[in-house]
Structures are given as C-alpha cells and as structure tokens.
Amino acid sequence: MPVAYEQYLVPTVFRPFAEDLAARAAALAPRRVLELAAGTGVLTSSLLAAVSSATVTATDLNEAMVAFGSVRAPGAEWRQADAQRLPFPDGGFDLVVCQFGVMFFPDRVAAFTEIRRVLAPGGRFLFNTWGPIGTHAFGAAFQAGLEQAFPLDAPQFLPAIPHGYSDPVVVTADLAAAGFTVEEEQELVLEGRAASAADVATGFLTGTPMRAAVEERGDRPEVRATVVQEMTDRLGSGPVTGPMTAYVFRGAA
C-alpha cells in the first residue's frame, strides 16, 4: 500500500499541500518539529528542506508507513506513534504539524489535548484538512466511479473519513476545547496534476484503506474498469488536472 500511495497519490494529491504547509512551518522558525501521520514522508521531506536548522521527528501509526518514510526522508527521526498517546515528554516541541491526518483520529479533542501537552508554551499546532468531497476533483470523480461499480453498496470511506471533518466551525471548536487559541483558519484551493485518470484510480484503489473496502465487495477487473471510465469521462483522457480544496489551521498552545 505505501508504494502505490507514494507513486500515484503523493505527486498529484499530497505534494502541493505539503509544499504549502512546509512554507508556513518555516515562517514560524521552529527548532524542534514533531510531525504526526507522516505517511510516506512527503511533508517530512518538504519540512527538512524548508526548516533545515530544526530537528524533525516524524511519526505514523502505521509501521509500514514508518518503514517506507524512513527510507524516503532519512533526515528525520522516525517513530511509530499514536497521536492520542504520544511517547514524548511535556513541552518537547515548538511546532507540531500534521498533513491530512487529524480526520483519522478517533477522538480529536483527546488527540489535540495530547498535542498541546507536548508543545512548549507558545508552541504552534499547524495542520490541514480536506474540504467536502465535492470540492476535490479527483476524490469526487473516484467516488462517482465507485457508485457506478457498486450501485447498491458503494464504499463511503472517502466522504466519511478523509472528507468527513470538513466544517471549519467544528474543527476550531475542537481546538478550543483542547485549550488552543486559534490563530489562523484559511481555505486553500490548489491544483493537482496526474498523468491520467487511471493513475489516480489506481492510487485510491490500491494505496489507501479503500483497498480493503473494495476487496470485501469483490475486487473484480470490471470494478477498476468502471471506476477508470467514470473518472476519465469526468476528468478527461491523457494528463488531467483538477482543483482540490483544503482548510489550513494554526493553533497556539
């Protein structure tokens, strides 16, 4: 799964936002950075380049992602860690960053409280979340393809989880409940580019938890063909581009 994620989704979906988040991190001039839900290390690599004088500790719950990321971005210290039970002392970091990971936290207020614990006084928590799935060209096209392939029981992973924490009012309320002062909330629309709609379909089908949901319903060749056709109809043939909406938040401890 990490290989497919890195090959097909990172360049199109995640790298544009990683570069934006790393630039925002650099503007804060941190010395000790903790990254959560680092995945294969796309943001980690950008952070190492943007804040080269800082120490970067990258973590992920998934051990396979940690193993892959530690090879991709060896300049960081990699650790397997649960965001709700961080294995770090109080006040150990100036900045905690998380790219499209907070949506996966089972108890977000508990996780945010734990993040605040490991931040030094005045430290910042910088992260982004996806907007509604309809504002993400690739995600919306993929979900439409799934609904064509499984008209009675289409997997709802994308709208429910990655795009299920898309109300800024809810996010800022959770930050406040964890004791953060919200310093910034910004809507951000960036453009993704891929060699083809089929590549993006392959990334979602084999490089995300969507893989298990599709396999449970019968991962037949015609499923992929239907998804690819719907995505091609919506996005076009050959190289494709599309807008992607996210929200960026910064909280102060």
- Identify the H or E element spanning 244: strand 240-252
Closest CA to 119 of 83, 98, 94: 94
What is residue 148's predicted lDDT score, i.e. its pLDDT? 96
Q: Pick from 188, 182, 168: which is nearest to 21 by CA? A: 188
- Closest of 17, 16, 9 to residue 199, by C-alpha: 9
pLDDT of residue 99: 98
pLDDT (mean) for 93-100: 98
What are the CA-CA distances from residue 240 to residues 12, 95, 197 (Å)?
Answer: 10, 35, 7
Summarised one tens digit per residue, pLDDT across range 60-75 is 999 999 999 999 999 9
Q: Residues with Cβ < 8 Å from 62, sequence gap 6 or more?
A: 80
Of all residues in the chain, the percent with pLDDT exceeding 70 is: 100
Contacts with 69 (C-beta within 8 Å, 6 or more apart), sequence order: 38, 39, 40, 41, 44, 58, 60, 76, 78
At residue 1, does pLDDT exceed 90? no
- Beta carbons of 2 and 42 less than 8 angstroms apart: no
pLDDT at residue 189 greater than cutoff 80: yes
Res. 219: pLDDT tops 80: no
DSSP annotation of 85: B
Which range has the worst mean pLDDT, 88-92, 152-156, 217-221? 217-221
Q: Name the pairing type of β-strands 119-130 and 240-252.
A: antiparallel
pTM of the model: 0.95
For CA atoms 193, 198, 203, 209, the dihedral sign is: positive
Please provide the DSSP assignment of 146-181 as one string: HHHH-TTS---HHHHTTTSS--HHHHHHHHHHTT-E
Ordered by start, the domain boundaries in the chain are: 2-133+159-193+242-252
Can you give the pLDDT at residue 220? 84
- Provide the sign of the torsion angle of the four alpha carbons 100, 106, 108, 113, taken in this order: negative
Rounded to whole angstroms, the Cα distance separating 237 from 217 reads 28
The mean pLDDT value for 25-39 works out to 97
Per-residue pLDDT, averaged over 135-153, amounts to 97
Superfamily classification of domain 2-133+159-193+242-252 = Vaccinia Virus protein VP39 (3.40.50.150)
What would the mean pLDDT of 210-216 be, rounded to a whole number? 91
Work out the mean pLDDT of the chain and round it to a whole number.
96
Which token pair is 3?
A: 């290989």
Express each pLDDT in 157-168 by its tens digit: 999 999 999 999
Mean pLDDT computed over 213-219: 87
Q: Is the confidence at residue 2, as pLDDT, over 90? A: no
Q: What is the pLDDT of residue 138?
A: 98
* DSSP bridge partners of 124: 95, 252
Residue 18 forms beta bridges with which residues?
A: none
Q: How far apart are CA 30 and CA 250, in angstroms?
A: 14
